[in-house]
Structure 1
Amino acid sequence: MPRLSVIMPARNAGATVESAVRSTLHDLPADAELVVGDDASTDGMRYVLDRIEDSRLRVIDCPGRGLARALNTLLDATDSPLVARMDADDIVIRGRFRRQVRALATADTVFTTVTTWRGSGMPRPAWPVAIGEGAFGFHLLLTNPVAHSTMAARRTAIDEAGGYRDVPSEDYDLWLRMQSRGAGMRRLAAPGIVYRVHARQVTATDGWRLSSWQDESTQHAFADLSERLLGAPQMRISALAIAPFSRGEKLARMAEFDRSFRAAVRLVPLPARTALLRRLAARSEWLWQRSDTAPGMIGAAT
Structure 2
Amino acid sequence: MPRISVIVPAYNAAGTIGSALRSTLRDLPRDAEIVVLDDGSSDGTAAAVDAVADDRVRMISRANRGVAATLDELLDLTDGEIVARMDADDLVLPGRFRRQLRAIDGGADAVFTTVVTWGSGMPGVPRPSGIHPDDFGLHLLLTNPVAHSTLLARRSAIVDAGGYRALPTEDYDLWLRMAARGSRLTRLGLPGLAYRVHPGQVTASAQWRHASWTNAELAAAYSELAEKLIGTPATRITSLSIDDRLDAAGKLAEFDGFAHRFSAALDGHSASAQRALRRKLSERRSWLTSRIHQGSVVAR
TM-score by length of 1: 0.95
Letter in 1 for 2:257: E
The aligned residue for residue 227 of structure 1 is 227
2:234 partner SS: coil
Is residue 258 from structure 1 mapped to residue 259 from structure 2 by the alignment? yes
Letter in 1 for 2:187: R
Aligned residues: CA RMSD: 1.2
2:265 partner SS: helix
Is residue 137 from structure 1 mapped to residue 137 from structure 2 by the alignment? yes
Q: Is this contact kept in 2: 1:139–1:276, CA < 8 A?
A: yes
Q: Is this contact kept in 2: 1:241–1:292, CA < 8 A?
A: no
Q: Distance in 2 between matches of 1:277 and 1:71?
A: 34
Letter in 2 for 1:179: A
Deviation of the 1:175 alpha carbon: 0.2
Deviation of the 1:118 alpha carbon: 2.2
Deviation of the 1:124 alpha carbon: 2.5
TM-score by length of 2: 0.96
Letter in 1 for 2:48: V
Query: How many aligned residue pairs are there?
Result: 295
Letter in 2 for 1:205: S
Is residue 279 from structure 1 mapped to residue 280 from structure 2 by the alignment? yes
Deviation per CA, 1:160-210: give whole Å up to 9, x if none. Answer: 000000111000000000000000000000101000000110001111111
The aligned residue for residue 291 of structure 1 is 292
Distance 1:17 1:160, change over 3 A: same
Q: Is this contact kept in 1: 2:38–2:61, CA < 8 A?
A: yes
Q: Distance in 2 between matches of 1:76 and 1:190?
A: 31
Deviation of the 1:292 alpha carbon: 5.1
Deviation of the 1:131 alpha carbon: 0.3
Q: Distance in 1 between matches of 2:62 and 2:87?
A: 15
Q: Percent identity?
A: 51
1:291 partner SS: helix
The aligned residue for residue 54 of structure 1 is 54
Q: Is this contact kept in 2: 1:242–1:293, CA < 8 A?
A: no
The aligned residue for residue 300 of structure 1 is none
The aligned residue for residue 43 of structure 2 is 43
The aligned residue for residue 118 of structure 1 is 119
Deviation of the 1:136 alpha carbon: 0.4
Structure 1 spans left out of the alignment, 5+ residues: 298-302
Q: Distance in 1 between matches of 2:154 and 2:29?
A: 16
2:192 partner SS: strand
Deviation per CA, 1:112-136: give whole Å up to 9, x if none. Answer: 0000102555x32211100001110
Structure 2 spans left out of the alignment, 5+ residues: none
Is residue 160 from structure 1 mapped to residue 187 from structure 2 by the alignment? no
Q: Distance in 1 between matches of 2:133 and 2:151?
A: 15
Q: Is this contact kept in 1: 2:41–2:64, CA < 8 A?
A: no
Is residue 99 from structure 1 mapped to residue 99 from structure 2 by the alignment? yes
The aligned residue for residue 180 of structure 1 is 180
Letter in 1 for 2:14: G
Distance 1:71 1:62, change over 3 A: farther
Is residue 200 from structure 1 mapped to residue 204 from structure 2 by the alignment? no
Deviation of the 1:294 alpha carbon: 4.0
Letter in 2 for 1:17: I
Letter in 2 for 1:50: D
Q: Is this contact kept in 2: 1:3–1:32, CA < 8 A?
A: yes
Distance 1:62 1:252, change over 3 A: farther
The aligned residue for residue 213 of structure 1 is 213
Deviation of the 1:63 alpha carbon: 2.3
Q: Is this contact kept in 2: 1:9–1:38, CA < 8 A?
A: yes
Deviation per CA, 1:192-230: give whole Å up to 9, x if none. Answer: 100000011000111111111111100000000000000
Q: Is this contact kept in 2: 1:241–1:293, CA < 8 A?
A: no
Letter in 1 for 2:255: M
Q: Distance in 2 between matches of 1:232 and 1:43?
A: 49
The aligned residue for residue 22 of structure 1 is 22
Deviation of the 1:261 alpha carbon: 0.3
Q: Distance in 2 between matches of 1:230 and 1:259?
A: 10
